[in-house]
Structure 1
Amino acid sequence: MSDPSSRLSAAVSPKGGGEHRQRFSEVLSTLAGSPGPVVSIGDVLNAFGDRAFGALMLLFAAPNVLPLPPGMSAVLGAPLLFVTAQLMLGRPTLWMPRFICERSISRDVFVLLTGKLGPFLNRSERLLRPRVGIMLGPILERIVGGICLLLAIILFLPIPFGNMPPAFAITAFALGILERDGLATLVGWLAAVGSLLILAAISSAIVAGVKAFLDHLWGILG
């Protein structure tokens, strides 16, 4: 496991260079197979280097696309707030506070998580490649950071079945940033719009249901 001081000093950028890099799934497999009882967020920062913006967005959003125990969306959604806010602000390097960097999960859980994500990542990575670069300019990436921050806030809220659509949208944006694939970013935009429409529909249904219940109750008591 890396030294804590080196974890905290990791300087990472949302943009990658042109050299050959390991795929996200390959880096996850390396992390899962490394020694030590736990995997910390600091370890992930070091492993992905200048791709940590997209990597952490993907790592904390993608599991929420799958059915998870109650409350897990809040646990996974909290670090997303730090990452997406900094992407929105256009920071060239990702900074994470010490208490976030030192958060960890057991290696057994990490292995289980990577095993569940593996088939999805493998299929996605076969389709991804650098293209449609116009969707990934500096200004557009800051806008993506803003919409992902909004989606992360929604993901953080305890909305029944409301975490999967925004998680999918953030996952698509993250894959686009990681692989410099503007088409994946476009999918992220479509999914984000769909997520907001679904949230609006759910909210309207909840408000209407509460109003109908109160009206009915008022009729009984009146």
Structure 2
Amino acid sequence: MTQQTAGSARQNDRASARLHDLAKLAHEQGGISIGEVLSGLGHTSMAFTILFLALPALIPIPGPFGVVFGSALALVAVQIAVGRRSIWLPAFLSGRRLSPSVVELIVRYSAPILARIEAIVRPGRLAIFTGGTMQWLLSFPIFLLAVAIVLPIPLGNYMPVFALVAISVALMARDGLLILAALFFSALAFVATAGLIQVAFAGLNAIGA
């Protein structure tokens, strides 16, 4: 394989490129289900699953998308923790169908975020932090970030989703330094979520007083 061909292959395997492929497929089929997305993924399926399930929580789409995709993410995290190689989702989640317009909206909003993260990715950097043990350890913050997405907290989705996007892209590229940075951002997301919960409870107490 020539250097140019290898570079082209890496470009096509980027998360942003794969999202555009999904948008094209959804348009051709008149929609796409979560199960169809997961069944069509390649060797980076676990990481891309995390990415795909996290992104809709960023988008201002009517409906309980945070609950649906956050719940699916939590299930994925549990399966990573118990060592499953393939992802299973119950029918009410895997059968959830996304219209072409929703998929295109997800891609439109997420592409700039992914482009910024992919610009700093260096495949193979600190590879010791990208193996199976690290993936298992990451299942715990991924689960907690998924729970944060499910919680109905105003503006509470953004930091957890950014952390999940960084984790997933880092895993796909096997960039250990980016994984460490994503873990630091995850810690910030946990602190921010706890603060927002405290503010919400204080507001409810003030209203009830």
TM-score (structure 2 length as normaliser):
0.82
Q: What are the equivalent positions in structure 2 for 1:80-159 lying under 5 Å apart?
A: 80-130=73-123, 131-159=125-153
Alpha-carbon distance change, 123 to 50 in structure 1, aligned in 2, over 3 angstroms: same
Root-mean-square deviation (CA, aligned residues, Å) is 2.3
2:136 match: secondary structure: helix
Identity over aligned pairs, percent: 31
Tell me which amino acid in the other structure corresponds to 1:44: V
CA contact (8 A) 1:136 1:182 kept: yes
Tell me which amino acid in the other structure corresponds to 2:14: R
Q: Hey, what's the Cα distance between the residues in 1 that align with 2:56 and 2:45?
A: 17
Measured against aligned partners, the alpha-carbon deviations of 1:47-78 in whole angstroms (never above 9, x if no partner) come to 32232211121112134345555743223212
Q: In structure 2, what is the equivalent of residue 46 of structure 1?
A: 39
Q: Hey, what's the Cα distance between the residues in 2 that align with 1:150 and 1:169?
A: 11
Q: Hey, what's the Cα distance between the residues in 2 that align with 1:213 and 1:114?
A: 39
Distance apart, 1:123 and its partner CA: 2.8
Distance apart, 1:122 and its partner CA: 2.4
CA contact (8 A) 2:59 2:105 kept: no
Q: In structure 1, what is the equivalent of residue 14 of structure 2?
A: 23
Distance apart, 1:133 and its partner CA: 1.2
Tell me which amino acid in the other structure corresponds to 2:54: A
Measured against aligned partners, the alpha-carbon deviations of 1:82-138 in whole angstroms (never above 9, x if no partner) come to 211111222222223344332210112212221222222223223213211122232
> Which segments of structure 1 move beyond 6 Å, counting only runs of 4 or more?
none
Correspondence 1:198 to 2:192 = yes
Q: In structure 1, what is the equivalent of residue 3 of structure 2?
A: none
CA contact (8 A) 1:66 1:164 kept: no
Alpha-carbon distance change, 50 to 191 in structure 1, aligned in 2, over 3 angstroms: same
Judge which range, 59-68 or 181-190, deviates more: 59-68
Correspondence 1:181 to 2:175 = yes
**Which of 1 and 2 has greater Rg?**
1
Q: Hey, what's the Cα distance between the residues in 1 that align with 2:111 and 2:69?
A: 18
Measured against aligned partners, the alpha-carbon deviations of 1:13-43 in whole angstroms (never above 9, x if no partner) come to xxxxxx8562122222222223211111222
Q: Hey, what's the Cα distance between the residues in 1 that align with 2:195 and 2:169?
A: 27
Alpha-carbon distance change, 69 to 186 in structure 1, aligned in 2, over 3 angstroms: farther
Distance apart, 1:209 and its partner CA: 4.7
Unmatched tracts of structure 2, length 5 or more: 1-8
CA contact (8 A) 1:65 1:165 kept: no
